């Protein structure tokens, strides 16, 4: 048994502060006690110190928040980030499908999977729901690399029998390969499986049927796909499925809409679809930097909140433009404001941590650093650039958090901890300022 204690400024938001204003938990001088990777106590240092007398206490600089949780990201696309000149459907054909074809080579998949997970840790992201490619070994490569790093990763082979040459599977292969992968991986380490049809246009009706059957047979698996991202995509879906009530109804007809479904984007949804999402308990991974990059539009927070949708946040690399969930939170603020809604910085932190955890059905394990949870956390440095240091000097907690979301990125991650162990550290020696330097 290893027992450790960390002392520093702690901040977490376990529930949506829009509905639960008391969900913001902040200890300016806090203590986090970790036993074998699990948080066993947390509170003000002054309250807990006596009870944990005798445990070595490690002081941690900066603002300690839960490890970020990326609710939608594509690992095979990391090397296509910043590909110029096209909206979704053309961008897929021109840039993405050729890159994913290279994953027929397992060694290539292993190489990219390792680089991808290291990049997540460098950005303070400790859990993610990840698209691999259609190749079963692309899942093996990712899960092997995640096991090595002890990260909490959910993924599953992409189903796309209507995909281009080299990336098209069949309904039968989708079924047998997915079943084999679920047997091999579900429940190992901190891994989880997601049935992952790419989107409505790349699967035949027969394959969407297979996806529904897989979900029904494996109640622990998630459903992970794209929904109503880009106007041209929505038009093409409406044309192929003229009888469907809307885009979401296409998935519904194949049994793909339920409490374990995670739909990326959801930018263009009629109220009927939002009502159905809320009723089913399905969630949306909002991907603001990707939505801007591909000219897809701005997510409608007002509509989502009217329907009380379950929401999380995703980078959607490689259409997304930054691995940083801080930056993504800042983009979400700007997207919300474009439609007249000002996203609160504490709510943005919730979306990037416990909100995404709830979508992935891992909120009992990670996302808010509560006792009983796994000790995945990040040390944020609000003085990581000269401008951030100036902007946050003497700032309140809310101002500091917002400045980190608008101005912060990988540079603001001082260290990343996985299960109480330091998994990544910035290689300079300048520690972030202590909480008392912001006291106000």
Size, binding site for Zn ion by CB under 5 A: 2
Q: If you search the block for the tokens 């993504």, which residue do you land on?
A: 328
Residue 13 or residue 264: which is nearer to Zn ion going by CB?
264
Q: Go through 198-221 and write b for each residue having 16 or more CB atoms within 10 A of its CB, e for each that does not.
A: bbbbbbbeebbbbbbbbbeebeeb
What are the tokens at 261?
């479904």
Q: How far is the CB of 313 from Zn ion (least distance, A)?
A: 13
Contacting range for Zn ion; rule: CB under 5 A; set: 75-83, 93-101, 256-264, 384-392? 256-264
Contacting range for Zn ion; rule: CB under 5 A; set: 12-20, 33-41, 242-250, 312-320? 312-320
Q: How far is the CB of 263 from Zn ion (least distance, A)?
A: 10
Residue 75 or residue 377: which is nearer to Zn ion going by CB?
75
Residue 70 interacting with Zn ion (CB under 5 A) = no
Residue 300 or residue 316: which is nearer to Zn ion going by CB?
316
Give the CB-side neighbour count of residue 94, counting CA atoms within 13 A: 12
Contacting range for Zn ion; rule: CB under 5 A; set: 135-143, 187-195, 243-251, 261-269? 261-269
How far apart are the two ends of the chain, measured CA to CA in Å?
40
Contacting range for Zn ion; rule: CB under 5 A; set: 5-13, 260-268, 273-281, 378-386? 260-268
Residue 31 or residue 129: which is nearer to Zn ion going by CB?
129
Contacting range for Zn ion; rule: CB under 5 A; set: 16-24, 118-126, 156-164, 309-317? 309-317
Query: Of these, 169, 177, 252, 316, which contacts Zn ion (CB under 5 A)?
Result: 316
Residue 91 or residue 377: which is nearer to Zn ion going by CB?
91
Residue 264 or residue 412: which is nearer to Zn ion going by CB?
264
Nearest partner of 440 among 401, 408, 407, 397, judged by Cα: 397
Q: How far is the CB of 57 from Zn ion (least distance, A)?
A: 42
Beta bridge mates, 69:
127
Q: How far is the CB of 69 from Zn ion (least distance, A)?
A: 16
Contacting range for Zn ion; rule: CB under 5 A; set: 308-316, 323-331, 366-374, 395-403? 308-316
Q: What is the pattern of x (binds Zn ion, CB under 5 A) and - over residues 268-307?
A: ----------------------------------------
Q: Residue with CB nearest Zn ion? A: 316
Beta bridge mates, 192:
154
Q: What is the pattern of x (binds Zn ion, CB under 5 A) and - over residues 134-163?
A: ------------------------------
Write the secondary structure of the chain as one string of H (helix), E (strand) and C (coil). CCEEEEEEEEEEECCCCCCCHHHEEEEEEEEEEEECCEEEEEEEHHHHCHHHCCCCEEEEEEEEEECEEEEEEEHHHHHHCCCCCCCHHHHHHHHHHHHHHHHHCHHHHHHHHHHHHHHHHHCCEEEEEEECCCCHHHHHHHHHHHHHHCCEEEECCEECCCCCCCCCCCHHHHHHHHHHHHHHHCCCCCCEEEEEECCHHHCCHHHHHHHHHHHHHCCCCEEEEEECCCHHHHHHHHHHCCCCCCHHHHHHCCCCCCCCEEEEECCCCCHHHHHHHHHHCCEEEECHHHHHHCCCCCCCHHHHHHCCCEEEECCCCCCCCCCCHHHHHHHHHHHHHHCCCCCCHHHHHHHHHHHHHHHCCCCCCCCCCCCCCECCEEEECCCCCHHHHHHHCCCCHHHHHHHHHHHCCHHHEEEEEECCEEEEECCCCCCCCCHHHHCC
Contacting range for Zn ion; rule: CB under 5 A; set: 143-151, 209-217, 249-257, 313-321? 313-321
Q: How far is the CB of 74 from Zn ion (least distance, A)?
A: 6
Residue 27 or residue 316: which is nearer to Zn ion going by CB?
316
Residue 133 or residue 392: which is nearer to Zn ion going by CB?
133
Q: How far is the CB of 266 from Zn ion (least distance, A)?
A: 12
Q: How far is the CB of 131 from Zn ion (least distance, A)?
A: 6
Nearest partner of 202 among 248, 170, 154, judged by Cα: 170
Q: How far is the CB of 316 from Zn ion (least distance, A)?
A: 5
Residue 194 or residue 369: which is nearer to Zn ion going by CB?
194
Contacting range for Zn ion; rule: CB under 5 A; set: 160-168, 315-323, 349-357, 402-410? 315-323
Q: Sign of the CA dihedral 120, 121, 125, 129?
A: positive
Residue 136 or residue 264: which is nearer to Zn ion going by CB?
264
Residue 30 or residue 132: which is nearer to Zn ion going by CB?
132
Residue 290 or residue 353: which is nearer to Zn ion going by CB?
290
Task: List interacting residues with Zn ion (CB under 5 A).
Answer: 264, 316
């Amino acid at each position: 048994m290893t027992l450790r204690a960390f002392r520093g400024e702690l901040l977490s938001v376990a529930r949506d502060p829009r509905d639960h204003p008391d969900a913001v938990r902040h200890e300016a001088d806090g203590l986090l006690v970790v036993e074998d990777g699990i948080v066993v106590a947390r509170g003000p240092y002054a309250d807990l110190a006596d009870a944990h007398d005798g445990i070595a206490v490690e002081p941690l600089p900066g603002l300690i928040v839960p490890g970020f949780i990326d609710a939608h990201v594509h690992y095979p696309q990391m090397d296509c980030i910043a590909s110029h000149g096209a909206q979704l459907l053309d961008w897929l054909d021109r840039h993405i499908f050729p890159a994913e074809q290279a994953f027929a080579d397992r060694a290539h998949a292993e190489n990219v999977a390792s680089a991808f997970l290291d990049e997540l840790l460098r950005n303070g992201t400790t859990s993610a729901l990840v698209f691999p490619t259609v190749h079963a070994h692309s899942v093996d490569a990712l899960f092997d690399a995640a096991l090595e790093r002890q990260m909490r990763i959910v993924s599953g082979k992409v189903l796309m029998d209507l995909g281009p040459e080299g990336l098209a599977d069949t309904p039968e292969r989708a079924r047998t390969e997915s079943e084999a992968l679920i047997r091999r991986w579900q429940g190992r380490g901190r891994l989880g499986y997601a049935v992952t049809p790419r989107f409505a246009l790349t699967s035949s009706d027969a394959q969407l049927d297979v996806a529904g059957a897989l979900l029904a047979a494996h109640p622990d698996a998630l459903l992970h796909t794209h929904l109503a991202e880009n106007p041209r995509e929505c038009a093409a879906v409406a044309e192929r499925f003229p009888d469907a009530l809307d885009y979401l109804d296409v998935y519904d007809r194949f049994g793909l809409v339920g409490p374990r479904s995670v739909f990326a984007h959801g930018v263009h949804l009629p109220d009927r679809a939002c009502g159905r999402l809320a009723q089913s308990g399905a969630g949306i991974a909002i991907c603001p930097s990707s939505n801007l990059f591909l000219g897809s539009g701005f997510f409608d927070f007002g509509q989502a909140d009217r329907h009380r949708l379950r929401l999380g946040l995703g980078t959607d690399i490689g259409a997304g433009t930054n691995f940083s969930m801080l930056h993504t939170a800042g983009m979400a603020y700007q997207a919300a404001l474009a439609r007249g809604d000002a996203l609160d910085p504490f709510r943005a932190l919730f979306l990037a941590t416990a909100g995404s955890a709830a979508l992935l059905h891992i909120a009992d394990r990670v996302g808010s650093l509560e006792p009983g949870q796994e000790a995945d956390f990040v040390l944020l440095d609000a003085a990581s650039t000269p401008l951030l240091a100036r902007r946050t000097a003497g700032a309140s907690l809310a101002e500091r958090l917002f400045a980190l979301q608008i101005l912060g990125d990988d540079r603001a991650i001082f260290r990343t901890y996985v299960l109480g162990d330091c998994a990544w550290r910035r290689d300079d020696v300048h520690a972030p300022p202590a909480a008392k330097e912001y006291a106000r």
